[in-house]
Amino acid sequence: SSGINAEWPLRSGQKILRESVVNPLRECGFVGADHMRILRDLMSKSSTLVGLEDEEKEPEELLNVLFTEIFNIKPLLSFRDGANEISHVNLCQILLERDPHSSTMPHTQDLLTRYFVSQNLFFHTQPDLLLLQVPRSGKDFKLYDTVLPSAELQLGGLCGGVWGSCYICNKKPFMKCPQCYINQEFKHKYSAVPYCASCCTLVHSHPDRQSHVPESATNPTRGIRMVLSAVLCIHTSHYVTYCRVPAPPPLVPEEIAGSSTISPSPHSPYCWVFFDSMADREGGMGGYNIPQVAECPQLEDWLQNPAKLLHEKDRAPDFVKRLISDALLCFYIREKDT
């Protein structure tokens, strides 16, 4: 009997998510309020968190209930600090003070690296799924007016390794210095500046760097590449989502007279779509919301070209402006090692 009771939230949660949430979302583009009520009822009965049925909750609270108390899965992320203490969480919340020297539109790669360096953290295990919450406080205050979700994250140096060659001469690194990263504000993708033995000695002979404490460099963990797959955005209490989904097959172009030199443009296997469950409304208090699912053409190009976006932000499409202004939670999935 106790075994059956223990499995009840898991089996019920799987069935409700499959039949009442995922399938309607795929078929109709939205999930009805009655279906969400069923899910929240289950979460309320299975969790110690108060107010799941009738109070507004933060996304990370709902995810923690689903992952930990409904599906009983092990935490998605494991961190190791400088004292070799291990912590386990489902979501990485970037907690930083604003850097006055940083870009007005920092990337999530830069923010994540700076957070790990400031807290002396590393990934204890290599994640397959990374949920990254950008720095903000509540729904109203934002540390930065805009944050660009990096199209890719490189986690090699954040798993305890360093850059693959000396920063100065490109020889094999034997030393690394986290203090150089902080003081010189290097914006590469790793958590410490790597040096060969001779360059490390030369650099740290300077009076401004004699207080640094270089460390022995371990072999770098390379090729850990996380790809952005979705972004949850919020403006006041209105959540919207951007999702990277498989693109439909390309249309076969019909023959165009006299256009034998025209070739079809390369076809990307993925495209971005925008989902808004409250894009419009029909009726007043007794009415209902009208959802919208729309394509976001060229969003991938904007994400891949942050320099262009920084200088042409005001001319970017509205869906790009909304993404960088309201991003809250970024979902990254691991690609194969490279």
pLDDT digits (tens, 9 = 90+) for 55-70: 888 888 888 888 888 8
Evaluate if residue 162 carries a pLDDT over 90: no
| DSSP designation for 29 | S
Angstrom distance (rounded) from CA 227 to CA 333: 5
CA angle, residues 156, 160, 165, in degrees to nearest 5: 60
Percent of the chain at pLDDT exceeding 90: 21
Type of residue numbered 54: D
Q: Which residue, among 140, 112, 122, has the nearest Cα to 228 in the 3D structure?
A: 112
pLDDT confidence band for 256 (50 / 70 / 90): very low
Listed range (7-11, 84-88, 125-129, 325-329) with the worst mean pLDDT? 7-11
Q: Which residue, among 260, 262, 292, has the nearest Cα to 279 in the 3D structure?
A: 292
Three-state SS at 158: helix
Place of tokens 């498989």: 246
The strand ranges marked E within the chain are: 77-81, 86-89, 92-93, 121-123, 129-133, 136-137, 141-142, 152-154, 175-177, 193-195, 215-216, 225-235, 238-246, 270-282, 288-295, 327-334
Angstrom distance (rounded) from CA 11 to CA 102: 47
Handedness of CA 276, 265, 316, 310 (dihedral sign): positive
Per-residue pLDDT, 202: 92
- Per-residue pLDDT reduced to its tens digit, 23-61: 988 887 778 888 888 888 888 888 888 888 888 888 888
Per-residue pLDDT, 332: 97
- The mean of the pLDDT values for the chain is 79
Angstrom distance (rounded) from CA 145 to CA 106: 10
Evaluate if residue 273 carries a pLDDT over 80: yes
- Per-residue pLDDT reduced to its tens digit, 184-223: 445 444 567 778 889 999 999 999 889 998 888 765 555 5
Evaluate if residue 261 carries a pLDDT over 90: no
- 215 near 192, Cβ under 8 Å? yes
Give me the mean pLDDT over the 280-300 stretch: 82
Q: Which residue, among 205, 220, 213, has the nearest Cα to 172 in the 3D structure?
A: 220
Give me the mean pLDDT over the 135-157 stretch: 77
